[in-house]
Amino acid sequence: MDLPKQLNDKFSIGEYSDGIHADDLENLKTGEYGYRYRLLENVVMPPYITPEKYQFSRTIQTRDSDICYTSYPKSGSTWLAYILVLIVNNGEIPACKDTLRNSLHWVASSWTYPRSQAELEATPSPRIFKSHMPYQMALGGDPIKNPCKYIYIARNPKDVAVSYYYFEREKSWSGYYSGPWDHWLKIFMEGNVQRGSWFDHVLSWWQHRDADNILFLRYEDLKANFKQELRKIMTFLGYEQHDDMITKIAEKTTFENMQKDNFSNMHEIKEFHSFFRKGKVRSWKEQFEEDQCLAFNEFYEKKNERHWTQFDLG
């Protein structure tokens, strides 16, 4: 849907464009219903994760004060990002930053978070990095060999599949993908969507959850026991836990507040005007047909035969 010109003028980040952001056009691929992607290390990635930017992200020299939060898309990472920004700023929005996006560094992206090496080196600690990479493609190389602290958040794959479908539909970075829900669910289960297989992605980090510098979280736990999970994050990062600060962060990071707050709602990115959709647990029930639910559950059980992590699939 085209937006009025007066609204377009307010966006500091416009639509993704192959010609501007893809770098190597010849390696872009187009699937059914126009779905646009590239392959990096045999994993399906968005076109704006270019080989050059990816290599840059892998060779970043991390600091012991750095924080990298990562997830499969649509798993609560923006919520986590706001929590982290507030933790390192004593519960306050940093005075020198006008948006959440400008408080973070996503160095693998050539589009929404452009950052140079000089900018990163000049950024005072603590730096907060955003990532959607599986473990073997993580920021800075092998995480357990890095001084950086990594926080991974996982979410029920059914909720992820639904949220991701609505996020990718008719968007510039997906080639204006126009497929129906049943097609999306099929390629999601096959791992042929941007970021690859949810199962492989989550498992890659779960297998390293006991490393001293890795914290594995679940979206559902954060929803159910926010203050308890917040204290877990703060303990992991080495921050003191004051009740007033805990309460302040809890209030500022509610779904409703993040949705209406221009600091956190991604209003400055043109195609993110509906970035926050529902933010609920088990909203997949409104989308899945009964046969789709049964097929997904069976597929999940096969992938999860060693019971490496549990989600309530209903």
Res 114 pLDDT > 90: no
30 domain residue, yes or no: yes
Range 95-131 burial, b when 16+ CB lie within 10 A, else e: eeeebbbebbbbbbbbbbbebeeeebeeeeebbbbbb
Higher pLDDT, 241 or 272: 241
Res 177 pLDDT > 60: yes
Among the residue ranges 93-102, 104-113, 204-213, 265-274, the one predicted with the least confidence is: 265-274
Which residues does the annotation mark as catalytic?
132
**What is the secondary structure of the chain as a DSSP string?**
-PPPHHHHTT-SB----HHHH-S-GGG-EE-GGG-EEEEETTEEE-TTS-HHHHHHHHT----TT-EEEEESSSSSHHHHHHHHHHHHTTTS--TT-SSSGGG-B-TT-SSSS---HHHHHHSPSSPEEEE---GGG-TTS-GGGSSSEEEEEE--HHHHHHHHHHHHTT-GGGTS----HHHHHHHHHHT-STT--HHHHHHHHHTTTTSTTEEEEEHHHHHHSHHHHHHHHHHHHT----HHHHHHHHHHTSHHHHHH-TTTS-TTBGGGTT------SSGGGGT--HHHHHHHHHHHHHHTTT--S-----
Domain at 151, CATH number: 3.40.50.300
Q: What is the pLDDT of residues 181-205, one digit of tens each?
A: 999 999 999 999 999 999 999 999 9
Q: How confident is the model at residue 12 (pLDDT cuts 50, 70, 90)?
A: confident
45 domain residue, yes or no: yes
311 domain residue, yes or no: no
pLDDT for residue 129: 97
Count the domains in the chain: 1
314 domain residue, yes or no: no
Higher pLDDT, 40 or 4: 40
Res 172 pLDDT > 90: yes
136 domain residue, yes or no: yes
pLDDT for residue 228: 97
pLDDT for residue 278: 63
309 domain residue, yes or no: no
Q: How confident is the model at residue 283 (pLDDT cuts 50, 70, 90)?
A: confident
3-state DSSP of 240-292: CCCHHHHHHHHHHCCHHHHHHCCCCCCCCEHHHCCCCCCCCCCHHHHCCCHHH
- Domain boundaries, position 245: 5-303
% of the chain exceeding 90 in pLDDT:
72
Contacts 24+ apart (CB under 8 A), 228-232: 230/83
312 domain residue, yes or no: no
267 domain residue, yes or no: yes
Q: What is the pLDDT of residues 251-275, one digit of tens each?
A: 999 888 887 777 776 665 666 555 5
pLDDT for residue 128: 97
Which residue, 3, 234, 269, 243, is CA-closest to 111?
269
Q: How confident is the model at residue 14 (pLDDT cuts 50, 70, 90)?
A: confident
Res 79 pLDDT > 50: yes
